[in-house]
Structure 1
């Protein structure tokens, strides 16, 4: 018998093994045995000491030294009674060491492993109780990690994965669950998606969701509705009331549109679109803004129905006299508006009234608070502006007083002509 498990390295009088187990009883390695190293030429040495599972002392010393070399130990090189006794003793020792492990291997029902020594090597193997047991049909039971069946249909049935439409079943190709996204969460839909009524098709009402677009198809009134605060009915919606005409509607009350930046328009229906945006504001009067620049006030025709007014006091001749005296102090002037920013250039020469002068004479004809040192040169917030209705009434009262004077003078002239 030859022991040749693993390889050895030989240096001096020391043999160092790799993958060896020189001390295992079953190896039957003893002092005095011959070790052959398969070098060229072959080296023969005698074992003089067994130091560990991977170390032997031998004689003579290595000549030359080698590493990772095949070898062989003649474990039955001696036929003496003493050698036979030692061999039998080693085998008995190995039996004693392994008999307990083999008994555990054969008798235990627990899910465990046992370690035994085979040819000097320690090996861990599963005990019988750890081995998976097949049933009478030759299949491993579900409780042991198998399917309990010998075909796919039986396996699906035993695992509760039969075809069906309920939760936990395997979807068949005609599974109705493929026709809905109910219960799905998250994910990405690649490509366009068309939404139609249950009975609709691609020629009827539908919505198409594509990359960066939402298309609505309807024979009339396609719309996008909003339900603020989870309202039962829409609170507002954009709707195409007719071809090319968009409307903002409120589910209840009055629809309002707030444009944070302003409204951008074009010159007429077919002109070029401008980059400027405009806004209106109301602060005692209607103000017009272009971008960030206040252009001025917007004058409209005031409603004047008596039923809209109260505390009406008609002016008499004494009021007309006061108006006449004020008008006679008005100071018409020519002037040019200064440029304001890049949007409003300097104006041509104009004829009019300076509101700062007029407010001192006829304050009823001027609105606003007047500009002060905080004026930025562009936006004339709180600037004085003329109330043309009040100015017209002042002129009317002055004309009425003047007409009275003319009539009185004409009467006096007539009396002088008649000699009375």
Structure 2
């Protein structure tokens, strides 16, 4: 490339250079070459006035451009290019004329012709158009009806016989006259081509098609012809179809076999190479391998393996999905169970051939063979009276789930709130109760506690009660007493350390919905995060102080729980704080959108100023 860049103006002869040395690189009559917009322009120079100014012979026809890279081409070089172009064009024209003569000879010359497209290329001899048209016409020519008793062997690949012949009567269309089948009324076609230059095709009116070819050069009289072959039969035979006995292969490699849809093989199992794990037969067993279907260029195909045996223990059918290229195939194997197979438990069966072995395989105990009854040695029904007591006892030590209905007659009901006592020494069982129940654990001094269920009671630190809802009380009978009160109406839970409200949001549970008070961001900014230690276990934590939140907004807290109903615990209303957080985010979002609009406007003004500055610099 030449030094510097160019400015070219559409429909102008002026050339303006930047960092160029036109007086050194150019002189009148030279050429400027530049690629602009993907198009190469070759521009002849008229005058050179300075290192950065020149004029063209004709106006520039391309788009106005600046900063274009360029190259100077001397007039002598351009003359050489022109001379070379003329020489190449002359050579090409000479080749076209030679080719025209070849095609003229091809279409007009009779018989065979010799073709040489260009000097130096090998000559090729073959039939011209007239000869090919004659051959095609004779092979498709209708020659009429065959004689009553023709000998098809005499219809050889010569001019008198090439073409199509009709056989309209069955009397002479017999095997003795070398027809492909008896009573073969149909069409004979004789071709001067194929093996040894002679082929016959015969189509019987039933639709059967047969083909045969010469087995040696035409003897001029009756052949020699090969046997008639049904069309497509050889291909089917190669696939193992249409044979009375499939040949047994001496080897079958599961990793290398070519899989063709519909193909069938027979092979002894010991002659299988790379036999997939999971397929098992006794040595000497012959098996049929059927390719059910193949796809993906033979890298994915389905196989069915069937043994050639009637022995029940060895008659196993497998279906195999083969995936992968040769040498790295993977096999997914499924066994197909028949009425003579013992289906394993893992495959959905019983694993046995008798009732006893089936029960054993399924892991069933002797209860599966016992009758339903009320006597010893029988299986109890759902309404058996033996199921209505604990080993016939009115009490005892039990583990697991117990459904207990207090009964005055059994002496189980005591003065409220301590109704039913059940002693246990293991894991806490699950109780379904009527009225109220108390679970008491004993395990030594100081380890006893009572878990009480009561309804309509509120117990404070002084033991007072009201009708606030059902309650769960835990006590060790000495100094430890905790409770959980299920509040009517709100569905909340009050505890000694505060209340728990459900985070419901359904409009059906609310009255007078309206927009929240403004100032959510201000309120959020007034909240003081704190760190502290919990009094009950000394655990260090981070959060808020309810009394401080109440000063910011009374809606941030609510009263619930505690051991003194006159001084309830202050609890955090997460929903109220979250609502203000949402309002604060929405307000900040509106400010952000406004600022983005202002930024976009400023960027647009800056781009316009930059464009004007660039124009001033360019001019």
Asked if these proteins are the same fold (TM beyond 0.5), I'd say no
**Higher RCO (C-alpha under 8 Å, 6+ residues apart):** 1
Normalization by structure 2: what TM-score?
Answer: 0.22
Normalization by structure 1: what TM-score?
Answer: 0.32
Larger Rg: 1
